[in-house]
Structure 1
Amino acid sequence: MQTLIHLLKCNVGTGLLGLPLAIKNAGLLVGPVSLLAIGILTVHCMAILLNCAQRLTQRLQKTFLNYEEATMYSLETCASPWLRTHSLWGRYTVSFLLIITQLGFCSVYFMFMADNLQQIVEEVHITSNTCRPRKMLAPAPILDIRFYMLTILPFLVLLVFIQNLKVLAVFSTLANITAVGSTALIFEYIVQGIPYPGNLPLVANWKTFLLFFGTAVFTFEGISMVLPLKNQMKNPQKFSLVLYLGMSVVICLYICLGILGYMKFGSDTQPSITLNLPNCWLYQSVKLLYSIGIFFTYALQFHVPAEIIVPFAISQVSASWALFVDLSVRTALVCLTCVSAILIPRLDLVISLVGSVCGSALALIIPPLLEISTFYSEDMSWATVAKDIMISVLGFLGCIFGTYQALYELTQPANSSVANSTGVYA
């Protein structure tokens, strides 16, 4: 049961709240169908990674392999001499992608917290017990969104100085409680008084569909935690059942929230559904609670790249400088995520960009290729090889075109008729 909870937690975050806009970018019919298809593909790739790691542990008499190690050892034992020679680069590539992905998550968290904090603070004087629906357009914000990012920065720096996993586990529990409570209240609101969806397009423009692809992959990008979660189980052989059960719940949750959120808010759908919630104390508290949960989750996401980068940095200096280097690197990484958020304060586009660039590679491109390199010498069927190649090609195309579209949108000025994540919505 504990492993199931951890699996759900790893796949539910800010991406969940951006799914109504993702459905809007794809269309009321194409969006849910595509989200289901991407969910099935990512779960299948998780299962592929599990099978590859299990076979490699048997070959090499190892007890546990993480994603990076599985990639390296798969290349070491494959049929190609060139890949065997360069197997270490497989590990470096996956480690690099994990670092970029996790820091991308942290940058998204900065924007999410700043967006919601701005709404809470600048609307406090007009907030009451009576809930008033929001409109699409609003007066200019009092303070720039970047001010709120800089306000959050020192608190996050202090947070990441905490390295004790037991303390981080307490933060994780707090984040889970706030996320569950907030999500329940969000569902309670969006299921009430849903307008007739007859005017909503079933199929959206293909350019916005590319943004949908990146967002969908971002929300499902929990593949890096699959092997560690399996290793924590008392009965690892049952993990496949836990994986399919947990991810089925996640996929259903995503589809329901995406459809209901888009039907509820229609063309006014914002990059985060919390920005669509009405202005009253109840739903302002929902934003605050979810932001607190994301604040604590930041430390958990940050822990992954820190565990890769900090030990390497410390190994380059003497023991007397170890603590200084440790804290300096952590501070620099947090500042890096803040600077990224300041430079690109567009929550929806950054989510799509991170999902397209790194999420596609980790969740869709690498696992099928890993299966080919691991099992090809064991008379692997051509049907399986063709299937793996098709999944990798799909992921590659999504990566290329999704990245292009996200970068293109980032170069365009924000359109006042299109919701963005840089201000208050009254």
Structure 2
Amino acid sequence: MNMREEASAAGEPLLEVAPASRRVGSATWAQTLGNIVVSVVGTGMLGLPYAFRIAGWLAGSLGVAIAGLTTLYCMILLIECREKLEEKNGSVYIQSYGDLGAEAFGRTGRYLTELLVLVAQAGGAVAYLIFIGQNLSSLLNDTSKHPISPVIFIFLLLLPLEIALSFIRSLSTLAPFSALADACNILAMAIVIKEDFQLFNSFSTRKAFGEVWGLPFTAGVAVFCFEGFSMTLPLEASMTNRRQFRWVLSLAFTGITLAYILFGIFGYLAYGEDTKDIITLNLPQNWSSATVKVGLCVALLFTFPIMMHPIHDIIESRLKSSGWFQKLSYNVRCAECVGLYGARIIMVMLLATVASFIPGFGSFVSFVGSTLCALLSFVLPAAFHLTFMGSSLNIWRRALDYCILLVGVVFAGHGTYAAISGH
């Protein structure tokens, strides 16, 4: 029995035959650029000044640049893998990261890949909720005598809004929300940098290299900053002209990496050793500070559905392929619709509950970046690329793939050890 027959027997979603209508998306390059930026840029950037405080401004800058370049390269590896498989077998349509896992390592590969995507995306979504809750809480607590817990904002404000937004199923439909989120991010970053310049100190008063133990922590934050890896294949497939995706991706990552480095440097130079794990908590109590917090909260509010897209995709594919759900959908009218949207509601509620129990933003972001994101962003793409194209690669590309694979495994292992040991 071959891999495709095994998947069918196990009730898994198959790598589908792709009609022409499914192979051509509707998103323009500009819409895709906006979706890439909003998929990548999120709460992680707000922890960069704190990471630069720990590692030093020069070490932090180098770490962000290396993380960005390596992530871009590994995203291109995924595209090469899909093109290789579709060229080899024109009837195969690689729709998701899990499909690549299934083609590479069978049923186990699919389960492992989808599990990592689920947990990593969930970690990013939880970080969004933590940030919004903490910033709205600090904003109102600055002007109120009665402190309001971030948990109140998560459940009473964020939960209903995110449930409503989770009903949007199309990435092209989310493009206007992406544009709004990008605008909010740019405005907020500009105001933060303006505030930073008012407190700007020279490079001579800040350390270029920090403690050695801080480098893994900073690397974890940097990797998390480029999270959104599992959106690579859906974003490319959503384009009308898929050949444009590589240069659109490169353009987006060049701008994002440069913005991250400048943001981290300016934030650290402004506040030095007083830099907090969320830079917005360092801002003074004035109208511009309030604008930053509200703008970033709005941006992340509309980024959350894009972060949840791979999670919903995996869960819904599992439901549709399960025998009991197929019988229920056949026997009960509207059961499929109710079941799929019900699953979306349950997932958003579950992540909101998890977010209410996470105490530290910075440590949580570093842990997710150094473990789950490292496996998804470096280890799996290199392993897939070697599996599908190893024999056709020259010695330098094979060596680079093995190097990325090894470093990714060591990095993830260290992140797991640090989390368990409490360091």
- Give the TM-score taking structure 1 as reference length: 0.83
Q: In structure 2, what is the Cα distance between the partners aligned to 1:400 and 1:282?
A: 41
Instruction: Please provide the CA RMSD for this pair.
Output: 2.4
Q: In structure 1, what is the Cα distance between the partners aligned to 2:289 and 2:166?
A: 32
Structure 2 CA distance for partners of 1:244 and 1:324, relative to 1, 3 Å: closer
Task: Tell me if structure 1 keeps the 8 A contact 2:39–2:303.
Answer: no
Q: 2:102 is matched by which residue type in structure 1? A: M
Structure 2 CA distance for partners of 1:192 and 1:210, relative to 1, 3 Å: same
Structure 2 CA distance for partners of 1:34 and 1:157, relative to 1, 3 Å: closer
Alignment match of 2:163 (pick from 154, 158, 162)? 158
**C-alpha deviation, 1:212, in angstroms:** 1.1
1:333 maps to which residue?
A: 347
Q: What is the SS of the residue equivalent to 2:41?
A: coil
Structure 2 CA distance for partners of 1:228 and 1:350, relative to 1, 3 Å: same
**Residue-by-residue CA offset, 1:61-103 (whole Å, 9 max, x unaligned):** 1475232223332x2xxxxxxxxxx522212222111111111
Q: In structure 2, what is the Cα distance between the partners aligned to 1:161 and 1:11?
A: 19
Alignment match of 2:115 (pick from 78, 88, 96)? 96
Task: Tell me if structure 2 keeps the 8 A contact 1:369–1:392.
Answer: yes
Structure 2 CA distance for partners of 1:333 and 1:164, relative to 1, 3 Å: closer
What does 1:122-133 align with in structure 2 at a 5 Å threshold? 122-125=141-144
2:37 maps to which residue?
A: 8
**354-363 or 218-227: bigger deviation:** 218-227
2:308 maps to which residue?
A: 302
In the alignment, structure 1 residue 107 sits paired with structure 2 residue 126: yes
Task: Tell me if structure 2 keeps the 8 A contact 1:357–1:399.
Answer: yes
2:394 maps to which residue?
A: 381
Q: 1:365 is matched by which residue type in structure 2? A: V
2:364 maps to which residue?
A: 350
**C-alpha deviation, 1:324, in angstroms:** 4.6
2:140 maps to which residue?
A: 121
Task: Tell me if structure 1 keeps the 8 A contact 2:196–2:270.
Answer: yes
Q: 2:339 is matched by which residue type in structure 1? A: V
Q: What is the SS of the residue equivalent to 2:356?
A: helix
1:207 maps to which residue?
A: 213
Q: 1:47 is matched by which residue type in structure 2? A: I
Q: What is the SS of the residue equivalent to 1:150?
A: helix
Any stretches of 5+ residues in structure 2 without a counterpart? Answer: 1-28
1:26 maps to which residue?
A: 55
In the alignment, structure 1 residue 363 sits paired with structure 2 residue 377: yes
Any stretches of 5+ residues in structure 1 without a counterpart? Answer: 76-85, 127-140, 413-426
**361-370 or 302-311: bigger deviation:** 302-311
Q: In structure 2, what is the Cα distance between the partners aligned to 1:329 and 1:69?
A: 21
2:268 maps to which residue?
A: 262
Q: In structure 2, what is the Cα distance between the partners aligned to 1:124 and 1:167?
A: 38
Q: 1:352 is matched by which residue type in structure 2? A: S
Percent identity of equivalent pairs = 28
Q: 1:298 is matched by which residue type in structure 2? A: F
Structure 2 CA distance for partners of 1:241 and 1:153, relative to 1, 3 Å: closer
**Residue-by-residue CA offset, 1:6-59 (whole Å, 9 max, x unaligned):** 222222111122111121221122111121112211111112222222111100
What does 1:44-193 align with in structure 2 at a 5 Å threshold? 44-62=73-91, 64-65=93-94, 66-73=96-103, 75=104, 86-125=105-144, 142-156=147-161, 158-160=163-165, 162-165=167-170, 168-193=174-199
Task: Tell me if structure 2 keeps the 8 A contact 1:21–1:270.
Answer: yes
Structure 2 CA distance for partners of 1:230 and 1:63, relative to 1, 3 Å: farther
Structure 2 CA distance for partners of 1:407 and 1:109, relative to 1, 3 Å: farther
Q: Paired residues, what number?
A: 384
Structure 2 CA distance for partners of 1:50 and 1:322, relative to 1, 3 Å: closer
- Give the TM-score taking structure 2 as reference length: 0.83
Q: In structure 1, what is the Cα distance between the partners aligned to 2:260 and 2:236?
A: 23
Q: 2:43 is matched by which residue type in structure 1? A: T
Q: In structure 2, what is the Cα distance between the partners aligned to 1:238 and 1:313?
A: 34
Task: Tell me if structure 2 keeps the 8 A contact 1:103–1:337.
Answer: yes
1:131 maps to which residue?
A: none
2:281 maps to which residue?
A: 275
Q: In structure 1, what is the Cα distance between the partners aligned to 2:120 and 2:319?
A: 20
Q: 1:306 is matched by which residue type in structure 2? A: H
Q: What is the SS of the residue equivalent to 1:203?
A: coil
